[in-house]
Amino acid sequence: MHNLENSFDKIQKLSKQPDTRIYGTGLWGICHDLAEANYPSAKEFFIKELDDPRWDWRRVSVSLLGFHYKLEPQIIEKIRELTIRDPDSGVRIASASVLGLQGKFPEETLIRSLTSDSNKRVREAAFSSLLELSGVPYKTKLKENRRVKNGEIEPSLDQIRRILTDENLSSTIKLLDEK
């Protein structure tokens, strides 16, 4: 625990220095260790960092929050906002991925990202997250994501509908059609 306390103190101090970066400095590993251990103060720290002006601190914070903690509705709402409005595509990708874990189908923010984000990778992340939330089998999700990556299909709502139809998930299609 003492080592985690030291790590947390180090991260807090470094986060206040405007030129401190996460990637390539070893800080990502420290942040990950804190999240993995569910260090009590780390969650609140990462929540605060969602508003950091540095893209790398926002990206890491949204990822660590989404993959290591059960998030409250107001934090999910903040992540929705980042998914749509963050200027960094990496933050939008991480946020869309988190919504795929902690959102509910049909996640309107993911639909909006899928249909209107200018960055292809953000649209791909939204597509994958919608498949995750829809309950399609894991192998189907992998296959369809591979098809997107290989350029065989474009990520779109029509493709989501096709996949849901192929998997005979008519009640899920109805949820999608209500949006």
56 shares its domain with 83: no
60 shares its domain with 87: no
Q: Which long-range contacts (CB under 8 A, 24 or more apart) does 115-118 make?
A: 115/156, 115/157, 117/92
174 shares its domain with 104: yes
The whole domain housing 14 covers 1-69
What percent of the chain shows pLDDT beyond 70?
Answer: 98
142 shares its domain with 173: yes
Q: Cβ-count burial of 51 within 10 angstroms (0-12 exposed, 13-18 middle, 19+ buried)?
A: exposed
37 shares its domain with 104: no
The number of folded domains in the chain is: 2
96 shares its domain with 152: yes
pLDDT the model gives residue 114: 98
138 shares its domain with 55: no
Confidence of residue 168 (pLDDT cuts 50, 70, 90): very high
84 shares its domain with 156: yes
pLDDT the model gives residue 178: 78
Q: Does residue 125 carry a pLDDT above 90?
A: yes
Asked whether the whole model's pTM tops 0.85, one would answer yes
55 shares its domain with 96: no
- Domain assignment of residue 146, yes or no: yes
100 shares its domain with 50: no
Helices 40-49, 2-15: crossing angle, 10 deg rounding: 20
63 shares its domain with 85: no
